[in-house]
């Protein structure tokens, strides 16, 4: 007799066993079990799950995951998220009754994760108690507020001519390998002293490119205030498709708590390609350039989630910097025109300017920010009022003087001034400028203090400017950084300081 029987006795043990049997749920239990009918290119056609819902998360018996993309009367098209090479025809799977969710919250800060929130940096598991669905409705109009606060990108040509606001969606577009990602990474680096949390989403990028971006953030920025979501080029198309949605959910956690976030989507051209690949493999009807008809809706509902919330909703903001790639500068292609029409402006990079050495290669004629004028820091707006017009006039005059002839002195002065504008707008990568430095540079430029300085000496002037301002105008620097504006007399003091510094270096 066992110890339990000895303790309770035969009658007590029997009564307990009878009670457990009576309490057991012995009624009929139905469970739907699906089976893989066929699999190819990251798509599994599944039978036996008649009650599965669209976008429902499916789990295979071997532990892999997928989600329902296509619902047919007798089959379900399942997009695989992992273990593509380990799933075979005949494998069993079950519906989870839930949609895709990712971990959110401060536990993700400083981490590199995949679109499912699983760590890729070898720093241990993600200790997050909260999960959010990757698909969430965008804030309603009544829940939004005006975009009035600036996002300092640290890139002079952007902050002075195409200022970015918190809650804005600004497209960065251009040909391959001409600096699109650099502008976005420099914007993230520039937030090292701000209250903005950054999320960088790499979609279909090469491993080496992703590694360079992460190293730049770790070296020059504050990785502990960033989240990196990686769906590299070798990842299944399903993982590339969900990556931007997962990144948005991670960023929205901070926005919905009254904080400010910035998300970089690098890039949506590859996301559109993965959407087209999934659509064609699941036999959806192709449209223009073989993209399915809903590709515009996919990107629109994604980017609409970036917003500035009203005070009643906490006043947080989510700013989006989507990136798109063009072929031979063709802005009228299908995906570029879609994204241009969805976003609040675009920063266009030109391959010709890039190969001529003008970096960042921003085309000031075709770039625009439809919100920025209302968000630009007041001090910067005051000193840069005529900068864009002056630069446009210089470019036009330069074109005409190429045909020969000796321009009059007034035109020569304009060309000389314009050459300094162009030289100053060029900027080394991963060296974002703080607001006070930008104000001082543009003030010196527009006051004509740099017209006598050789263009080759402007880099040295820019490198030493921060130390000069901190040493001799620290109160003005602190005021501009804190309020974004001048106090009475600050502008004149700053101009006199710059004039005194530049006079000994003026050329003939």
Active site residues: 370
Backbone angles phi and psi of 485, in degrees to 5: -145, 165
3-state secondary structure of 151: strand
Instruction: Quote the Cα angle for 28-31-37, to 5°.
Output: 145
SS3 per-residue string spanning 77-111: EEEECCCHHHCCCCCEEEEEEEECEEEECHHHCCC
Cis status, amide bond into 267, omega within 30 of 0: yes
What is the token pair recorded at 180?
Answer: 């699109």
Q: Is 47 exposed, middle or buried (0-12, 13-18, 19+ CB in 10 A)?
A: middle
Buried b (16+ CB within 10 A) or exposed e, 109-122: bbbbbbbbbeeeee
Contact 439, 379 (CB under 8 A): yes
Separation of alpha carbons 344 and 146, rounded Å: 13
Buried b (16+ CB within 10 A) or exposed e, 69-84: bbeeeebbbbbbbbeb
Contact 80, 87 (CB under 8 A): yes
Cis status, amide bond into 360, omega within 30 of 0: yes
């Amino acid at each position: 007799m066992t110890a339990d029987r000895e303790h309770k006795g035969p009658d007590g043990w029997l009564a307990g066993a009878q009670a457990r049997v009576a309490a057991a749920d012995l009624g009929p239990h139905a469970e739907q079990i699906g089976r893989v009918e066929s699999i190819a290119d990251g798509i599994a056609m599944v039978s036996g799950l008649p009650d599965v819902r669209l976008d429902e998360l499916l789990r295979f018996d071997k532990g892999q995951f997928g989600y329902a993309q296509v619902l047919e009367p007798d089959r379900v098209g399942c997009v695989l998220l992992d273990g593509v090479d380990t799933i075979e025809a005949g494998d069993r799977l079950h519906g989870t009754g839930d949609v895709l969710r990712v971990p959110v919250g401060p536990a993700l800060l400083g981490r590199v994760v995949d679109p499912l929130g699983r760590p890729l940096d070898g720093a241990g598991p993600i200790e997050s108690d909260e999960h959010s669905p990757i698909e969430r409705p965008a804030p309603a109009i009544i829940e939004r507020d005006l975009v009035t606060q600036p996002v300092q990108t640290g890139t002079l040509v952007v902050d002075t001519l195409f200022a970015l606001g918190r809650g804005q969606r600004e497209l960065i577009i251009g040909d391959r390998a001409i600096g699109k990602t650099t502008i976005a990474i420099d914007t993230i680096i520039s937030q090292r002293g701000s209250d903005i949390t950054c999320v960088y989403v790499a979609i279909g990028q090469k491993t080496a490119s992703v590694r360079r971006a992460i190293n730049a953030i770790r070296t020059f920025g504050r990785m502990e205030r960033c989240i990196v979501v990686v769906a590299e080029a070798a990842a299944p198309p399903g993982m590339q498709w969900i990556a931007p949605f997962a990144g948005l959910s991670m960023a929205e956690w901070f926005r919905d708590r009254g904080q400010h976030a910035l998300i970089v989507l690098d890039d949506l051209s590859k996301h559109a390609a993965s959407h087209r690949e999934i659509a064609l493999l699941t036999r959806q009807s192709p449209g223009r350039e073989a993209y399915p008809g809903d590709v515009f809706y996919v990107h629109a509902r994604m980017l609409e989630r970036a917003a500035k919330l009203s005070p009643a909703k906490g006043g947080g903001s989510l700013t989006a910097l989507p990136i798109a790639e063009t072929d031979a500068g063709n802005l009228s292609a299908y995906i570029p025109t879609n994204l241009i029409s969805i976003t609040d402006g675009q920063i266009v990079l030109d391959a010709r300017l890039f190969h001529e050495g003008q970096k960042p290669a921003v085309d000031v004629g075709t770039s625009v920010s439809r919100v920025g004028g209302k968000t630009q820091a007041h001090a910067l707006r005051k000193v840069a009022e005529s900068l864009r017009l002056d630069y446009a006039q210089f470019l036009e005059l330069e074109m005409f003087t190429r045909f020969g002839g000796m321009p009059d002195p007034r035109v020569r002065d304009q060309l000389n001034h314009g050459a300094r504008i162009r030289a100053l707008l060029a900027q080394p990568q991963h060296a974002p400028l703080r607001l006070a430095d930008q104000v001082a540079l543009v003030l010196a430029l527009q006051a004509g203090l740099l017209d006598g300085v050789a263009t080759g000496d402007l880099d040295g002037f820019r490198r030493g400017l921060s130390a000069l301002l901190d040493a001799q105008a620290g109160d003005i620097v602190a005021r501009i950084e804190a309020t974004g504006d001048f106090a009475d007399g600050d502008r004149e003091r700053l101009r006199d300081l710059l004039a005194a510094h530049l006079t000994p270096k003026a050329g003939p």
